[in-house]
Amino acid sequence: MLYTSPAWMFYFYLEYRLGMLENSYSFKIKHFNSIKDSCKVLILGNSEMLKGINPDFLPQPAFNMAQVSQNYVVDELILQKYLSQLPQLKLVVLGLTYLSFGDDLASGEEAWRISFYKKHYGVDLNNNFDLKDYSNTLRYTPYEAFKMALTNFKTDLVNGIQANGWMRADGHDSSNLTDEFAQQRARMHTQSLRLENVSKNTTALRNIIALLKERKIQILLVAPPVMQNYNRSLDQKWLERNDSIMSKLTLEYQLEVDDFTKSNDSRYRIFEGRFNDVNHLNKEGANSLGTLLSGHLLETKKYNP
């Protein structure tokens, strides 16, 4: 014990300091809890929704509960956990992207995020014993924890996320807008898709729809804009599969989909020059999308304050 005591002391020091760090999950749930009693519009989805819709431009109060790699399975768990705590909720905006049906957080490269959902949101994706659920060092990984210790834990883990849940992305890096980058990003996303995930996400989306319709909460599915060089690089079979699933669901449940990915839509021109990278909007793009959605909601009376 004496021989190993320095290692244990350093470990407990890491645990203490890491536990004090604010990360994107702890930051978002803190601000969500402060608004949930009055929240009327909730946004769910993956990073395209996280960066793509600024709630300040939607009917207020609104909150963006999207997160990186968050699929319908996670969206469902969040709603099951918090819907009863949202007495004023009138509208849920759900993301519809290339990854929506074929991707899976629990089995993908972003699976490390599961323990953060359990710790901060109180939702469990796998129900299995995992040491990361009880150790900050393992949750961040020992390598990342040691790196943060070397900087005296002066690390920004909130990454531009605002108090309304939206992730602000200023400007763009021109190298992230090129055709080459678009092809690489599209290839990476396609490789993450699995047929076995389609039924899980479709079932989760059905459950979300049933849950919200039971509470008489309006639903709007939004396909946020992406650059056309990225769109052209996506796998056609997966695009057709996604379209087929949504065609059936929209017909069955009378859902409305607001699709901003079509270049022949006059609204698409608004987003030219307003991308952070090939499939994420920047600050100006997110403001524009929020404004368009707000006008659409009020015009169609989809949202009634």
Structure tokens at 15: 């645990």
Q: Which residues does 2 contact at the CB level (< 8 Å), separation at least 6?
A: none
Structure tokens at 38: 């009055």
| Cα three-residue angle 162-79-86, rounded to 5 degrees | 70
Residue 55: CA atoms inside 13 Å, Cβ hemisphere, count?
26
Q: Is residue 304 part of a domain?
A: no
Distance CA 218, CA 228 (A): 30
> What residue numbers bound the domain in which 47 lies?
5-299
Q: Is residue 202 part of a domain?
A: yes
Q: Is residue 305 part of a domain?
A: no
Which pLDDT does position 133 carry in this prediction? 87
**Cis ω on the peptide bond leading into residue 142 (within 30° of 0)?**
no
Q: Which residue has the tokens 């006059």?
A: 266
Q: Is residue 258 part of a domain?
A: yes
pTM over 0.85: yes
Q: Is residue 112 part of a domain?
A: yes
Q: Is residue 132 part of a domain?
A: yes
Q: Is residue 142 part of a domain?
A: yes
Question: Any idea what the CATH number is for the domain that residue 110 is in?
Answer: 3.40.50.1110
Q: What is the mean pLDDT of each run of 10 residues along the chain (305 residues)?
A: 80 92 96 97 97 94 97 97 96 96 92 94 85 90 92 92 97 91 97 96 97 95 97 97 95 92 92 96 97 81 58
CB 96 within 8 A of CB 74: no
Which pLDDT does position 301 carry in this prediction? 60
CB 298 within 8 A of CB 292: no
Q: Is residue 265 part of a domain?
A: yes
Which pLDDT does position 300 carry in this prediction? 62
Domain count, the chain: 1
Which pLDDT does position 34 carry in this prediction? 97
